[in-house]
Amino acid sequence: MIIDTHLHPTNLVDEAWRHTGTPFTGERLLKMMDGPYMINGKPRRIDMGFIQPPPGNTGYRDGNRMGREGIRDYMSYIAELCQKYPDRFIGNFTFNPRWGPENGAAELEFHVKEYGFKMLKLHANMHGYRPDRALDWLRPAMKKCAELGVVVLIHTGDGPYTIPTMFYPVIREFPMVNFIIGHFGIQTGGNYSFEAFWMAMDTPNVVCETGWCFQSRIVEFANELPRHKLVFGTDSPPNEPGMWLRELEVLCSPPPHGMNLDEDGLEDYMGNNIARICGIPTTPPPRTQEEALARLKDTYAMVEPRPVPA
C-alpha cells in the first residue's frame, strides 16, 4: 500500500491558510487519493492516509468551548471520517497544549481507544510555544504516546519555534517514542533539511517525512540514510501528492537523478516503513501492470463507480 502520513481534510474553510472558499472535505480527499498515479508504469492509488485538522482550525476562537470539550470539537470531523472510512483514514491527534496539557493527553487517550488513532501532531508555531523550553507542556502527551504506542509527527521548517533541533530535548527524553520530522525540515520560510537528515542519522527514534524535500537532496539523503528512515507524506492540501510520489519514483532511475532503487525499496518509502512503525500489515508492490490494474479494479468495485485505467 501507499500510505500518506500527512493529510488535512476539513468541513469548514481553513482559518489560517484559506484554500479557497470551499472546504477540502474527506470525500474530496478520497477522490484525490484514488488518482490513479502512475508509478514505474503502473497505476496506483494512495491507499491510506493519516488525517488531522488544518492546524489553523485548532486554536481558540470566540465562542469555543474550553478544555477537553473544545479539543473534542476541533477533532470531531477527523473522528467522524475515521469511523466513516476506516479502511482509508487513520486518525492523527492534533495536540495544542494551550487547551491544557493534561486535557490534551486525556483526549489523546480517548481518541486512540475510541477511534483507533495512531499518531499525534505537534505544531509549535501555530500554537505558540518553544518546544525546547515548554517540556512541562509536552510531557503529559509524550507519556501517553509512550504508553499507547503513538507516533509523533512534528511540523518543522520555519522559525521561530519549529526548527528541527529545537525538538531534541523531548526526543531524547522519550527514546521509546517514534518521531517523524515533518516536511523534512523545509517550509516556505526556511530549509533545515540537513538538520533533519542528521537527526535521523544520529537518533534511533527519528525518521524523516519526504514531502517538501528538494528532489536533488532526497536522492542524496536516501543514499545515506538506512532504508527504514524515510516515510511518505504530502501535507495535502495545500500540496498535490503526485509530485511527491514522482520525487520518490525518480530514485529508481540511475544516478545522478536517482540511485537505482528497487521496487521493494520504493514500496518501503511509499508505505511499508510507516506501516511497520504503526503496526499496519505491509504489502509487496505490484510486479506487473496487470497486477496493479487488478488491485485498482478491486478497489473501485468497493466505492462509487469511477473509470479504471485501460
Task: Give the sign of the dihedral formed by CA 48, CA 50, CA 52, CA 55.
Answer: negative
Residue 310 is predicted with a pLDDT of 46
User: How many CA atoms, within 13 angstroms, populate the side-chain half-sphere of residue 132?
Assistant: 9
- Grid cell listed for 61: 476562537
φ, ψ of residue 121 to 5 degrees: the values are: -110, 135
Judged against a pLDDT cut of 50, whether residue 221 lies above it is answered with yes
Residue 307 is predicted with a pLDDT of 46
Judged against a pLDDT cut of 90, whether residue 300 lies above it is answered with no
Better pLDDT: 128 or 299: 128
Which distant-in-sequence residues (6+ apart) come within 8 Å of 15 by Cβ? 54, 56, 57, 59, 61
Partners of residue 247 on adjacent β-strands? none
Measured CA to CA, the distance from residue 154 to residue 163 in angstroms comes to: 10
Residues found in the chain: 310
The residue assigned the cell 487517550 is 109
Judged against a pLDDT cut of 80, whether residue 283 lies above it is answered with yes
Pairing of strands 48-51, 37-39: unpaired
Distance linking the first and last C-alpha atoms of the chain: 21
At 132-189, the pLDDT tens digits run 999 999 999 999 999 999 999 999 999 999 999 999 999 999 999 999 999 999 998 8
Q: What is the mean pLDDT of residues 285-301?
A: 83
Nearest C-alpha neighbor of 297 from the set 65, 305, 158: 305
Judged against a pLDDT cut of 80, whether residue 308 lies above it is answered with no
Mean pLDDT, all residues of the chain: 93
Residue 17 is predicted with a pLDDT of 74
Q: Place 19 in a pLDDT band, splitting at 50, 70 and 90.
A: low
Residue 303 is predicted with a pLDDT of 45
Residue 306 is predicted with a pLDDT of 43
Judged against a pLDDT cut of 80, whether residue 202 lies above it is answered with yes
What one-character-per-residue DSSP string does the chain give? Answer: --EEEEE---SS--TTT--SSS---HHHHHHHHH--EEETTEEE---EEEE---GGGSS--TT---HHHHHHHHHHHHHHHHHH-TTTEEEEEE--GGG-HHHHHHHHHHHHHHH---EEEE-HHHHT--TTT-HHHHHHHHHHHHHHT-EEEE--SSTTT--GGGGHHHHHH-TTS-EEEGGGGEETTEE-HHHHHHHHHH-TTEEEE-TT--HHHHHHHHHHS-GGGEE----BTTS-HHHHHHHHHGGGSPTTT-----HHHHHIIIIIHHHHHHTPPP-PPPSSHHHHHHHHHHHHHTSS--PPP-
Residue 142 is predicted with a pLDDT of 98
- Grid cell listed for 146: 509512550
Residue pair 30/88 in contact (Cβ under 8 Å)? The answer is yes
Share of the chain above pLDDT 90, in %: 87
Nearest C-alpha neighbor of 94 from the set 44, 57, 46: 57
Residue 21 is predicted with a pLDDT of 79
Residue pair 278/118 in contact (Cβ under 8 Å)? The answer is yes
Judged against a pLDDT cut of 90, whether residue 18 lies above it is answered with no
Q: What is the mean pLDDT of residues 42-57?
A: 95
The residue assigned the cell 532511475 is 253
At 85-140, the pLDDT tens digits run 999 999 999 999 999 999 999 999 999 999 999 999 999 999 999 999 999 999 99
Q: Place 238 in a pLDDT band, splitting at 50, 70 and 90.
A: confident
Q: What is the mean pLDDT of residues 232-248?
A: 95
Residue 13 is predicted with a pLDDT of 86
Measured CA to CA, the distance from residue 179 to residue 203 in angstroms comes to: 10
Q: What is the mean pLDDT of residues 274-286?
A: 96
